[in-house]
Structure 1
């Protein structure tokens, strides 16, 4: 979407100038045919047009860059969609005309006052102040919220409008931490959603995988975290001071316990960081062993996680 914004606002850019001259041929971006010419990214931009159109609006000043029939300058969308191809004849404005081409020194030069089909559109256009050269260049506006258009592009505002919104889940504070490590958070998110390729998941694909740590045939997420003697031995020693003495090898108990810890307290942050580091390094060790590489003992694993925690905590001081 930002690239489309640049096409309308940064005409001095070398790439945008090339697009305007060779691909658009100075026609409207909304009217150019998708004939498989141009690069892969250009074809993707053309496919996004229907979704992006509602985000752009033109504030008419001199009318030299705004296409009369295709740009959204009347708040009614594409005028060609309202009138059809015959509208160019009834209103007396050519298909690729700019807004300034429909204005003279006396005002609007469009026809249609005697046409019953387009009288409402005719009156709406006459109600708009005609463009004048002394008004400066047209201003491209981007939608930031309902009925709020500003002359700046905002990725966050755009994403907030196009994304599918759902209720916030309780486990989100366990996964998405401001102090967290992105790769740790992602690997933690996978077992939270039970999307790790553990043995029970791989069985559905015809592959049998037991636990590489203890030999348990039914390797599930709940077994790996932390019913497996290997992972629980590491987790119990590291987490008992932060999570509490009543530490439990049950996965759901652990998630619930972390969710109920007081928000933003130091012990809570450390416990959640430790949990993510534990999930990440156990999964990493599991993959290492599956590829017949040297295995770590529980003591070595504890030292590695301890070092990872120190490396993360020190920059936060």
Structure 2
């Protein structure tokens, strides 16, 4: 091809322009690519930087589109709306996210790592009174089922704190600490919701001015 191995693309396209054909298909493909680049060069215009976007190369940069291109396409799940929502606390949301993906380190999973581990359940909070299904709770958290904005936030946040609290309690007992009474766990959950709504009221979050009063009404 008449191009040294250390040559740049600029060196390759600036060599004497003569259309060539080679016996090797790969060399012909390289030659055609160089010719296309050479044909697109305009001497009276300056080079510009372009950013790859979903609709092609653009002069403006988009963080969200760049992130999507780097990650690739992923399946979208409706239940994520009940996990990642405005005003959610990251550590609570992360725990619910792991729970819904069945990625928590339950004893059923731990027993596969350590055959000598004690797999007896250390929590009996729900007992026979638990009748709601996880899928129905996640659907309710995601879709709201005709709940207004304030009520949906209270439900989602209380759900997040409850999941986080139960998992934290499970870990405490698993590591030898005493089980927290269910009444105390309820108070911790209630206090967590009240603290969040109080902060939102102090920050004057639009549409959430009387959310704390709504929560108090549900506790009667």
What TM-score, normalized to structure 2? 0.70
Over 6 Å off, 4+ runs: none
1:173 corresponds in structure 2 to 81
Q: Is the aligned partner of 1:208 residue 2:121?
A: no
What TM-score, normalized to structure 1? 0.51
2:26 corresponds in structure 1 to none
2:49 corresponds in structure 1 to 140
Equivalenced residues, count: 190
Name the Cα RMSD after superposition: 3.2
Residues 30-50 of structure 1, C-alpha deviation per residue, up to 9 Å, x if partnerless? xxxxxxxxxxxxxxxxxxxxx
Q: Is the aligned partner of 1:190 residue 2:73?
A: no
Question: Where does the alignment leave 5 or more consecutive residues of structure 2 unmatched?
Answer: 23-30, 202-220
What is the distance in 2 between the residues matched to 1:291 and 1:250?
A: 28
SS in 2 for 1:185: helix
Question: Where does the alignment leave 5 or more consecutive residues of structure 1 unmatched?
Answer: 1-85, 103-107, 215-225, 233-246
What is the distance in 2 between the residues matched to 1:172 and 1:290?
A: 29
1:125 corresponds in structure 2 to 38
Pick one of 146, 150, 155 that aligns with 1:271: 155
Residues 27-84 of structure 1, C-alpha deviation per residue, up to 9 Å, x if partnerless? xxxxxxxxxxxxxxxxxxxxxxxxxxxxxxxxxxxxxxxxxxxxxxxxxxxxxxxxxx
Pick closer, same or farther for the CA change 1:267–1:254 going to 2, 3 Å: same
What is the distance in 1 between the residues matched to 2:32 and 2:142?
A: 62
Q: Does structure 1 retain, via aligned residues, the 8 Å contact 2:83–2:142?
A: no
What is the distance in 2 between the residues matched to 1:297 and 1:119?
A: 76
Pick closer, same or farther for the CA change 1:190–1:121 going to 2, 3 Å: closer
1:156 corresponds in structure 2 to 64
Residues 208-254 of structure 1, C-alpha deviation per residue, up to 9 Å, x if partnerless? 3222233xxxxxxxxxxx7436xx6xxxxxxxxxxxxxx83443443
